């Protein structure tokens, strides 16, 4: 299995219309419709153009629907096949992570998360209706944030939270958060209510880069329990809106912000190191070095991972855009072992998902 990394370049804001666009998406000869490469100048030598290759690049004209249909919808059948799915948005503050994952209120602007839920409910209805053996599907949610390397339950009101955060407990290869609320979720309406309420609990604080910048990693877990006859299979889809990956030196952060940035960067830095180590097929993957990587455990368990690299097109973000592209570059050629979630009772075997990986190369051009 592989980590699939795709890039999305957001449109210019109205306020950015006078800013120079320096990030371009270009097609390649084998597929002239979908762009697959991103170019941007080397900040140290503008004559030099860097090219990064992806399996898919979405430019300013890409809709939420297109992104979902191409990249997220295909993961739903893997989830129902008993495999875990992880989808995350990576990028500096203001590049469109929350827009991509959560999205806007209108139907067209809905992000990957509500669309994923909608797709899961649709498939659950289909499976329940069409299975020969009686099948029941139960969906529940957990939602937490990691802020300053502490885990907080977003289904818990902020005044009830312990400042120390929730502890982690090792469970096989993966760490689980102890005491996390799990909410049953029976419809899209249920979901919207729970999700909107919980999002009010997210820690946000102003930074110089963005008035309400997200300084925490928000991790939504959608747990699927499928009971067919006497066999129960559990799989989880995790959707992660990562904290901004920007370099804190540029934001001229106050001391408190610097502490935050250091923690945020610790998790992101470890994520990058893990991804790199997986790519090299190292025996030791440094998962344990941050909370996020202990919990997410990409590459090591049976998770299918889609990373959406969010980018802003304008010069203001030049250095951060390059850092993000370099981060993605580390994820090339990641092979992940394919292991099914153990059914509670032994049952029939299933086909192994075919989810193609990709290679990303950085090629400095002259
Ligand atoms: P982040 O979560 O990475 O900090 P946001 O998702 O908050 O970034 O996006 C920053 C701003 O850009 C928001 O006003 C958002 O609505 C807008 N935006 C981001 N991506 C898009 C897009 N694809 N289309 C239109 N507006 C977008
Ligand atoms: Mg955000």
**Residue 227, pLDDT above cutoff 90:** yes
Residues 218, 95: Cα–Cα separation, whole Å: 16
Q: Which residues are annotated as a binding site for ATP?
A: 91-98
Residues 275, 268: Cα–Cα separation, whole Å: 10
**Residue 351, pLDDT above cutoff 50:** no
pLDDT band per the 50, 70, 90 thresholds, residue 214: low
Q: Is residue 312 within 8 Å of 40, Cβ to Cβ?
A: no
Provide the residue count of the chain: 366
Q: Ligand 2 mean position to 103 CA, how many Å?
A: 10
Q: Ligand 2 mean position to 184 CA, how many Å?
A: 26
Q: What is the pLDDT of residues 107-138, one digit of tens each?
A: 999 999 999 999 999 999 999 999 889 999 99
Pocket test for ligand 1, best of 61, 99, 207 (most atoms within 8 A of CB): 99
Q: What is the pTM of this model?
A: 0.85
| Per-residue confidence (pLDDT) for residue 62, from 0 to 100 | 93
Which residues, at least 6 apart from 357, have a Cβ–Cβ distance to it below 8 Å? 1, 2, 3, 4, 333, 334, 335
Percent over 90 (pLDDT), the chain: 46
- DSSP track, 226-267: EEETTEEEEEEEEEEEPPP---HHHHT--HHHHHHHHHHHHH
Q: What's the whole-number mean pLDDT along residues 73-77? A: 95
**Residue 91, pLDDT above cutoff 50:** yes
Percent over 70 (pLDDT), the chain: 77
**Ligand 1 pocket residue status of 217, Cβ below 6 Å:** no
Q: Ligand 1 mean position to 93 CA, how many Å?
A: 9
Ligand nearest to the CA of 100: 1
Q: Is residue 336 within 8 Å of 2, Cβ to Cβ?
A: yes
To the nearest 10 degrees (0 to 180), the angle between helices 188-199 and 112-130 is 150
pLDDT band per the 50, 70, 90 thresholds, residue 345: very low
Top-confidence range, 210-219, 281-290, 297-306, 324-333: 281-290
Q: Which two tokens stand for residue 366?
A: 């002259």
Radius of gyration of the chain (CA): 20
Ligand nearest to the CA of 211: 1
**Ligand 1 pocket residue status of 103, Cβ below 6 Å:** no
Protein residue whose Cα sits closest to atom 22 of ligand 1: 10
**What are the counts of helices (DSSP H) followed by strands (DSSP E) for the chain?**
9, 17
Pocket test for ligand 1, best of 92, 96, 240, 311 (most atoms within 8 A of CB): 96
């Amino acid at each position: 299995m592989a980590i699939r990394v795709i890039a999305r370049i957001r449109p210019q804001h109205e306020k950015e219309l006078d800013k120079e666009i320096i990030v371009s998406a270009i097609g390649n000869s084998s597929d002239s419709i979908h762009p697959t490469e991103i170019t941007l100048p080397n900040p140290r030598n503008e004559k030099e153009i860097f090219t990064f290759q992806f399996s898919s690049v979405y430019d300013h004209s890409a809709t939420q629907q297109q992104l979902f249909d191409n990249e997220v919808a295909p993961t739903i059948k893997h989830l129902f096949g008993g495999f875990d799915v992880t989808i995350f948005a990576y990028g500096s503050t203001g590049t469109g992570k929350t827009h991509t994952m959560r999205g806007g209120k209108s139907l067209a602007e809905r992000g990957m998360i509500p669309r994923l839920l909608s797709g899961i409910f649709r498939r659950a209805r289909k499976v329940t209706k069409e299975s020969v053996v009686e099948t029941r599907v139960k969906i529940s949610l957990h939602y937490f944030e990691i802020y300053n390397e502490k885990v907080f339950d977003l289904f818990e009101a902020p005044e009830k939270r312990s400042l120390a955060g929730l502890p982690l407990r090792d469970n096989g290869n993966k760490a689980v958060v102890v005491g996390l609320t799990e909410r049953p979720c029976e419809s899209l309406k249920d979901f919207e209510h729970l999700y909107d309420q919980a999002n009010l609990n997210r820690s946000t604080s102003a930074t110089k880069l963005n008035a309400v910048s997200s300084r925490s990693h928000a991790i939504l877990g959608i747990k699927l329990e499928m009971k067919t006859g006497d066999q129960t299979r559990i799989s989880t889809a995790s959707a992660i809106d990562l904290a901004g990956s920007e370099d804190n030196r540029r934001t001229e952060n106050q001391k408190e912000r610097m502490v935050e940035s250091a923690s945020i960067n610790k998790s992101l830095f470890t994520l990058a190191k893990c991804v790199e180590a997986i790519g090299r097929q190292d025996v030791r993957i440094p998962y344990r070095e941050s909370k996020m990587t202990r919990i997410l455990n990409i590459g090591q368990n049976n998770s299918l991972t889609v990373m959406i690299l969010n980018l802003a097109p304008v010069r203001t973000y030049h250095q951060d855009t390059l850092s993000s592209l370099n981060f993605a570059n580390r994820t090339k050629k990641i092979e992940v072992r394919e292991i099914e979630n153990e059914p509670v009772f032994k049952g029939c075997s299933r086909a192994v998902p075919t989810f193609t990986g990709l290679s990303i190369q950085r090629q400095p051009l002259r």
